[in-house]
Structure 1
Amino acid sequence: MKFVLFLAALVVIFLLAFLVSRDKKGIKFKPIAIMLGLQLLLAYILLNTGVGLIIIRGVSGLFEHLLNYAAEGINFVFGGMAMKGAAPFFLNVLMPIVFISVLIGIAQYIRVLPIIIRFLGFILSKVNGLGKLESYNAVASAVFGQSEVFISVKKQLPYLPEHRLYTLCTSAMSTVSASILGAYMTMVEPKYVITALVLNLFGGFIIANIINPYEVTEQEDIIEIHETEKQSFFEMLGEYILDGFKVAIIVGAMLIGFVALISMINHLFAAIFGISFQMALGYVFAPLAFIVGVPSSEVVKAGTIMATKLLSNEFVAMMDLAKITASLSSRTVGIISVFLVSFANFSSIGIITGAVKGLNEKKGNLVAKFGLKLLYGATLVSLLAAAITGLML
């Protein structure tokens, strides 16, 4: 039965991606099959052994240390306000972008970042059928985060056409940053966090290959920009510090607008129809919850959690899941936990648009143009990860 449901889920997910494909005849099936096979193999290993847990915890621990260093600067400027909890999201989530931006700038300046881009891009592009920059960006998104990653490729942004920018943004929205893995692991079982991280990396490539297929020539695959005038070290520091601050401010502004708008829609919907927009979407998501392996008696509850993530963010949904975990089977908890570990939600459209706009206004406007399609693709990535988890549990 699990295998039948998994096949049904694949058909539905791939069909939903196919319906919005920009070039249905250009879809490359070989890399999709290879990456699906890799997903199945890695999911089996991660969900049935302890392999990878120590490595992921080590990476998460490293970023926790970096965030602690960032907190030193934040506390100095804001007088310990963050420690008192007066503005935790702005100070503890957005402001560290400035420090991460500095580290990215240093890595760029000493020529380490271009080497990493070339290495990761070369290896993954042999598997996914996409460009080297797209391949690098997917891994970088899982390290830097969905807003910071664009700082690491800011030199390439002006040269990217819409279809390549879409793939980069899909990777950013489908993955999660290593800096918050520790926080996720306190809310859901660590093995599900790790599984989602790995599955979403390849899932982003799979869905992008269906929705957004294209060929990248060697001339187009710009992964390093040679600047005519060399900056001094402190000029570079100033540039990346200001870039990080600008991204943080714009992301914050976008979040205020998006979250407020969604809250208004939720309340208006409840006033008119008697149920919240999230609950209504729970019924919409119920069939999807069923095909990814959630037992029929729990699909509405699971669908509501999935809808909560879509409308708000993964943290809110994880907290809601924790409240009803006792009433759900371990199978449902595992499937939904993997689904929740990504940035695929409405507010992320604002975050990614703001991050790109802060670095290149023209490209930021382009991202806003395909924002809903971006969320659509990233949600399919989460569904694919959940379906694979349902097969393995």
Structure 2
Amino acid sequence: MHIIIGIIGILLFLALAWLVSSDKKSVKWKYIGIMIVIQFIFAFLLLKTTGGIYFVGKLSEGFNYIIMKAMEGVNFVFGGMANLDPKSKQPTNVFFLNVLLPIVLVSALIGILQYTKILPFIIKYLGFIISKVNGMGKLESYNAVASAILGQSEVFISIKKQLPFIPKNRMYTLTASAMSTVSASIIGAYFTMVEPRYVVTAVVLNLFGGFIIASIINPYTVDPDKDDIIIEEGEHKQSFFEMLGEYILDGFKVAVIVAAMLIGYVALIGLLNGLTGNILHTVSGGSIDWDFQTLIGFVFAPLAFIAGIPWSDAVEAGSIMATKLLSNEFVAMGLLPDAELSKRATGIISVFLVSFANFGSIGIIAGAVKSLNDEQGNTVARFGIKLLFGATLVSFISATIAGFFL
């Protein structure tokens, strides 16, 4: 039964993208079909095959080792700091120290790979291969791979020279990739919150899903003569330690920014839960015991169900999905451990959560582009809601496809 529901779900999400398409007659369904097949193949390989499970396991071990070494630096600076559980009086996990600060080391490693030209080589040629199956340009393919490694704001620095000349339709695809993927620097943090196999699966599926939805919402044909990739190298060659210091500081900034966002969003959601619960409790004379997250769960429950989540889990799952959209993926991931969900529902939700598709990302991406080119930044801001709508559909399609193998 879940296979039939999954097929209906994929068709529904594709139809929703088609409804807002800027050119419904020009959609290249052949390439979309090819990419959906590729998504199914990767989902099967990563979730069901011995080789895929082995690969994810080794990748997880690698990130765990990096996190363990990162904690040596964290403990050197923040050693002895811990929250005490009010009941057991035992130290509890400090999220900022154990989950966010290891981002600093991962960022430094990315800087080293970038400096030694290893990452640019991987990005360029992996993007070239992907461009052969997505029916789009080399620039779009390069940008999608780069977004998955560098991050949703940093990626635009690498194409700074081209920004003024990129037309609106191509700009949508570039920013859609940035919102649909996640940066490598925080994948290690995700590994500590959800199962690594779901994280890896989501990263791969979202890469192709971004092209699928963008090519439906915003179809176009790229002129080969206007498809060069001009990578920004910087005004002067940095020394190794200049680069290292910059990436370390960038990693720390990311950790602090995520921490600030979590403080604000968790507090706001707590406030909304309290106010909504009190109002409903008073109005109903004590017969209704719902809060804000329960209400948004009812709204998202049908979408959660059509994505393959059992109806018995749909309301709670919908609540977590909506929380991610309204706040960010870290807030939503923090709800998973206490959620009473089936293993299948947990897997589908986990894949859905691994992306930057939320309202805050509209401002982050538009601001990043605007800092490099004012006019293009305004262009991105104008199609911001459509960008979020498309990126959310990418997450739903990836989660639905993953559900076929859970």
What SS class does the counterpart of residue 123 from structure 1 fall into?
helix
Contact 2:140 2:173 in 1 (8 A): yes
Q: With structure 2 as the length reference, what TM-score do the two structures score?
A: 0.77
Q: How does 1:1-393 map to 2 (within 5 A)?
A: 1-53=1-53, 55=55, 92=101, 106=115, 115-224=121-230, 259=265, 276-325=291-340, 328-393=341-406
Range with greater deviation from structure 2 (66-75 or 295-304): 66-75
Name the aligned partner's letter for residue 350 of structure 1.
G
What SS class does the counterpart of residue 219 from structure 2 fall into?
coil
Quick one: distance in 1 between partners of 2:228 and 2:401? 34
What SS class does the counterpart of residue 213 from structure 1 fall into?
coil
Cα pair distance change 1:251/1:213, threshold 3 Å: farther
Identity of aligned residues (%): 52
Instruction: Say what the alpha-carbon RMSD is for the aligned residues.
Output: 4.0
State the Cα distance separating 1:148 from its structure 2 match.
2.5
State the Cα distance separating 1:37 from its structure 2 match.
0.7
Q: With structure 1 as the length reference, what TM-score do the two structures score?
A: 0.80
Cα pair distance change 1:226/1:201, threshold 3 Å: closer
Summarize deviations over 1:359-389 as a string: whole Å, max 9, x none: 3333222222222111111110111011112
State the Cα distance separating 1:21 from its structure 2 match.
0.9
Quick one: distance in 1 between partners of 2:186 and 2:61? 10
State the Cα distance separating 1:211 from its structure 2 match.
0.8
Summarize deviations over 1:189-238 as a string: whole Å, max 9, x none: 2222222121111111111111111111112213125999876869x969
State the Cα distance separating 1:179 from its structure 2 match.
2.4
Quick one: distance in 2 between partners of 1:229 and 1:194? 35
Structure 2 gap ranges (5+): 83-93, 282-289
Cα pair distance change 1:33/1:129, threshold 3 Å: same
Range with greater deviation from structure 2 (347-356 or 336-345): 347-356
Quick one: distance in 1 between partners of 2:277 and 2:371? 35
Range with greater deviation from structure 2 (336-345 or 224-233): 224-233
Contact 1:63 1:178 in 2 (8 A): no
Range with greater deviation from structure 2 (64-73 or 179-188): 64-73
Cα pair distance change 1:19/1:277, threshold 3 Å: farther
Name the aligned partner's letter for residue 163 of structure 2.
L
Contact 1:118 1:223 in 2 (8 A): no
Name the aligned partner's letter for residue 36 of structure 1.
I
Quick one: distance in 2 between partners of 1:86 and 1:40? 34
Structure 1 gap ranges (5+): none
Range with greater deviation from structure 2 (66-75 or 181-190): 66-75
What SS class does the counterpart of residue 357 from structure 2 fall into?
coil
Cα pair distance change 1:351/1:72, threshold 3 Å: farther
Contact 1:101 1:151 in 2 (8 A): no
Range with greater deviation from structure 2 (279-288 or 218-227): 218-227
Quick one: distance in 2 between partners of 1:121 and 1:363? 23
State the Cα distance separating 1:131 from its structure 2 match.
1.0
Contact 1:46 1:195 in 2 (8 A): yes
Range with greater deviation from structure 2 (356-365 or 282-291): 356-365
Answer with 1 or 2: which has the greater Rg.
2
